[in-house]
């Protein structure tokens, strides 16, 4: 058995300070605490709404608030993180100590599924300060995903998993409740060559641009890869299944919301980083999500992320000329 603490230490370069390793372990500890609350949500006061609306205009669930507080509390310690961009906070949180890293996160992705006992998750990305040791500035977090030095997610389901990359492959760990530790499940994950699923919310298809509709029609043809349509509505869950079994997850823009719903800094870019490390790709339909320069911490973007050949195929359809209705 290999614990995440041992794995992180073994993968750490000799010249490293250990700050990134320790910070990733802090996020693992946050995952343990959130997992515990998630499993007991129906027995405590964690189900239901908190009565607070976040910056997205979404009413926060009690677990949203708890997850945000746990992550912020752990990252504020140790002087490793200087700033935190969270979906649940309108502005960037600045920590004392001028640590070398900036973290972006969605503390609880898919929280609308909480009351239905559907799997949910935490998404995070990590940037290194442009000038470590100085007070962080907007240039430290408003930057393309190509600058990420690490990204990952925690998945709270039948088991709790942590999946992360620091640029040397994608590695997955499962929380052993008895040992109280994340244990290595898979290392160097890659998207399978034969995809199994496409994860699109077909109920919204009449509001998509033509290229996305054309891709779905192509995916259902007899002469294309045999894929089933599976959509959970939690980005972490859909991405994780497609990472293991092959496929593509999408949250396109619509007529009334052309930028889509997912946020670039703490959802789209981290998932694209993981996808690329696993041999896949993340795109807004035209451009790699890792190349997009955010203008706002809560900027939204269409997201298509998964196996390389599927994302590239979708981009081809989107780039084709419009056809008359």
Q: What is the pLDDT of residue 320?
A: 87
- What pLDDT does 50 receive? 44
Question: Alpha-carbon dihedral of residues 89, 152, 11, 71, nearest 10 degrees?
Answer: 30
Q: Is 57 left (phi over 0), alpha (psi -120 to 50) or beta?
A: left
CATH number of 197-319: 3.40.190.80
pLDDT in tens, 174-192: 999 999 999 999 999 999 9
Span of 4-13, 44-53, 226-235 with lowest mean pLDDT:
44-53
Residue 228 three-state SS: strand
Nearest to 261 by CA among 75, 112, 81, 56: 56
For residue 7, the SS3 value is: helix
pLDDT at 324: 58
The whole-number pLDDT of residue 59 equals 55
Non-local (6+) Cβ contacts of 107 within 8 A are 34, 64, 67, 68, 70, 71, 86, 87, 88, 122
What is the pTM (predicted TM-score) of this model?
0.93
63 φ, ψ (degrees, to nearest 5): -70, -30
Band the pLDDT of 172: cuts 50, 70, 90: very high
Is pLDDT at 60 greater than 80 in this prediction?
no
Superfamily of domain 4-186: Fructose-1,6-Bisphosphatase, subunit A, domain 1 (3.30.540.10)
pLDDT tens per residue, range 228-245: 999 998 999 999 999 999
Q: What would the pLDDT profile of 134-167 be if each residue is shown by its tens digit?
A: 999 999 999 999 999 999 999 999 999 999 999 9
pLDDT of res. 225: 84
pLDDT at 116 (0 to 100): 77
Give me the residue spans of the domains in the chain.
4-186, 197-319
Q: What's the average model confidence in pLDDT over 25-45?
A: 84
Closest CA to 182 of 160, 203, 210, 149: 160
In this predicted structure, the answer to whether residue 288 has a pLDDT above a threshold of 60 is yes
Copy the structure tokens of residue 253.
Answer: 């823009």
């Amino acid at each position: 058995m290999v614990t995440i603490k041992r794995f992180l230490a073994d993968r750490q370069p000799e010249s490293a300070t250990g700050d990134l390793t320790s910070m990733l372990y802090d996020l693992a500890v946050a995952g343990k605490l959130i997992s515990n609350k998630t499993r007991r949500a129906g027995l405590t006061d964690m189900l239901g709404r908190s009565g607070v609306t976040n910056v997205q205009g979404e009413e926060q669930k009690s677990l949203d608030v708890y997850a945000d507080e746990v992550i912020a509390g752990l990252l504020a310690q140790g002087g490793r993180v200087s700033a935190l961009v969270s979906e649940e906070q309108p502005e960037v949180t600045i920590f004392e100590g001028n640590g070398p890293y900036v973290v972006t996160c969605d503390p609880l992705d898919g929280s609308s599924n909480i009351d239905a006992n559907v799997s949910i998750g935490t998404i995070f990305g990590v940037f290194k300060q442009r000038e470590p040791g100085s007070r962080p500035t907007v240039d430290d977090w408003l930057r393309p995903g190509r600058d990420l030095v690490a990204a990952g997610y925690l998945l709270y389901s039948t088991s709790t998993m942590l999946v992360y990359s620091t640029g040397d492959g994608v590695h997955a760990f499962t929380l052993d409740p008895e040992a109280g530790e994340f244990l290595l499940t898979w290392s160097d994950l890659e998207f399978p060559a034969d995809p199994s699923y496409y994860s699109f919310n077909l109920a919204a298809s009449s509001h998509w641009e033509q290229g996305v509709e054309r891709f779905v029609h192509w995916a259902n043809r007899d002469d294309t890869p045999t894929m089933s349509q599976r959509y959970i509505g939690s980005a972490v869950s859909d991405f994780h299944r497609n990472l293991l079994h092959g496929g593509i997850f999408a949250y396109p823009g619509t007529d009334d919301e052309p930028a889509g719903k997912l946020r670039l800094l703490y959802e789209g870019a981290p998932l694209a980083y993981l996808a690329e490390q696993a041999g896949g790709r993340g795109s807004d339909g035209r451009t790699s999500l890792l190349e997009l320069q955010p203008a706002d911490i809560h900027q939204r973007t269409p997201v298509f992320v998964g196996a390389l050949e599927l994302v590239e195929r979708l981009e081809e359809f989107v780039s084709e000329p419009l056809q008359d209705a």
